Amino acid sequence: MHQFVISYIGDLLKAQGVEHDEWLYKAGIAGETLDDAEFLNAAVADRLCGTAIVLCKDADLGLKLGQNLTVASLGMFGYALMTSPTVGSTLKLLLRYNRALLPSVDITLQHNERFSQLLIKGEHLPKSLQRFYVDAMNASIVTNLKILAPHALEDLEIELSYPSSSDTALLDAIFGDCQIRFNADRCAVNIPAQSLLVAMQTSDSLAQDIFRRHCDRLLARDSHAGFVSEPVKRELLDSRSFFPTSAMMAQRLHISESTLQRRLAKEGTKYQRLLDEVRYRLALEYLHNTHLATDEIAHLLGFNNATNFRRAFKRWSSMTPSEVRLKSVGMSQPEE
């Protein structure tokens, strides 16, 4: 997580009477940790944010943070986002730089005939912390679209996994006419497919190239404590039906396997978790967009039989492959 995100959280806490030093003390974080690092790894960020939630006792803290995370306030990352040509290209960059902003949250982009679905996940986190990150990301996305591409908000839908509260004033102020569905089985921003083509009002191809290259260099610094999970996932996605072992992946990234494991641990993840995430993403792609049988999908995803694939898929999604396919494309009979 970049320091500027932490600084905004600190400002929100101070407005509620929580001093900076008290926050760090309760989180068990030395001030030098924040002073010396431009980026904070997922574990430190989670401790700081989790402590902030406890200290302020404000269920809307994530929404308030998201309102402050405008592209104009996010430094080079914000400039890279705001100079993108279209909403669609901006979302792709958001996926690329998400770990610099909210490192404990996984964001994926899926497409169907009606929507591009920005899925926000952090199941490994406590529910209060997961909600904090989801609210921050949702509020930031909608706040920035209001400024840079307001037409993209037409027919936009928000799915939230938590119930509605008695006071929805802040939600209404942020999301306006967007349709909000509470108690959903996932957290997502559903953007109409045509909205991806909406031009960004601040688009600048030359500046965008400069800012993007600068951001990539920031994330590639050896002193940076992580973000190796993103190139790992890209390599796994490119691998498709042949997934490398962690040792092979380390070789591809020109680091030792122990270094790979250590960096992933600092980001709060493991190689197997990333592999499962990629397999799940590809499984959904095959189930939504092809008529491949379950055993064929299992083979493509590197499982030695369909039974093991079904068991893994049920663990990932709480549904069977057939149930997902029936739900998404309306097949009359399950294939299993």
Domain range holding 232?
228-330
Q: Tell me: do 174 and 261 sit in the same domain.
A: no
Q: Tell me: do 190 and 262 sit in the same domain.
A: no
Q: Tell me: do 118 and 247 sit in the same domain.
A: no
Dihedral sign of CA atoms 263, 267, 268, 273 in order: negative
Q: Tell me: do 141 and 87 sit in the same domain.
A: yes
At residue 336, the pLDDT reads: 44
Q: What is the CATH number of the domain that holds 304?
A: 1.10.10.60
Q: Tell me: do 165 and 247 sit in the same domain.
A: no
Number of domains in the chain: 2
pLDDT tens digits for range 209-232: 888 888 877 776 543 444 677 778
Chosen domain end from 197, 220, 248: 197
Is residue 10 situated within a structural domain?
A: no
Where do we find the tokens 């307001």?
150
Where do we find the tokens 């996984």?
106
Strand partners, 267: none
Dihedral sign of CA atoms 150, 210, 6, 92 in order: positive
Q: Tell me: do 234 and 133 sit in the same domain.
A: no
CA distance 23 to 52: 7
Is residue 240 situated within a structural domain?
A: yes
Q: Tell me: do 182 and 274 sit in the same domain.
A: no
Q: Tell me: do 303 and 238 sit in the same domain.
A: yes
CA distance 71 to 83: 10
Low-confidence residues of the chain: pLDDT under 70 = 31-38, 220-227, 240, 328-336
CA 165 to chain centroid, in Å, comes to 24
Is residue 156 situated within a structural domain?
A: yes
CA distance 39 to 144: 23
Is residue 21 situated within a structural domain?
A: no
Is residue 29 situated within a structural domain?
A: no
At residue 32, the pLDDT reads: 63
Q: Tell me: do 163 and 91 sit in the same domain.
A: yes
Is 235:242 a contact under the CB 8 Å cutoff? no
Is residue 39 situated within a structural domain?
A: no
Is 41:268 a contact under the CB 8 Å cutoff? yes
At residue 240, the pLDDT reads: 67
At residue 235, the pLDDT reads: 80
| Three-class DSSP category at 110 | strand
Chosen domain end from 180, 197, 214: 197
At residue 57, the pLDDT reads: 86
Q: Tell me: do 235 and 193 sit in the same domain.
A: no
Dihedral sign of CA atoms 255, 257, 262, 266 in order: positive
Q: Tell me: do 174 and 266 sit in the same domain.
A: no
Is residue 128 situated within a structural domain?
A: yes
Instruction: Output the pTM of the full model.
Output: 0.66
Is residue 215 situated within a structural domain?
A: no
Q: In the Cβ-directed half-sphere of 202, how many Cα atoms lie within 13 Å?
A: 18
| Three-class DSSP category at 259 | helix
Q: Tell me: do 159 and 233 sit in the same domain.
A: no
Task: Give the CA radius of gyration of the chain.
Answer: 20
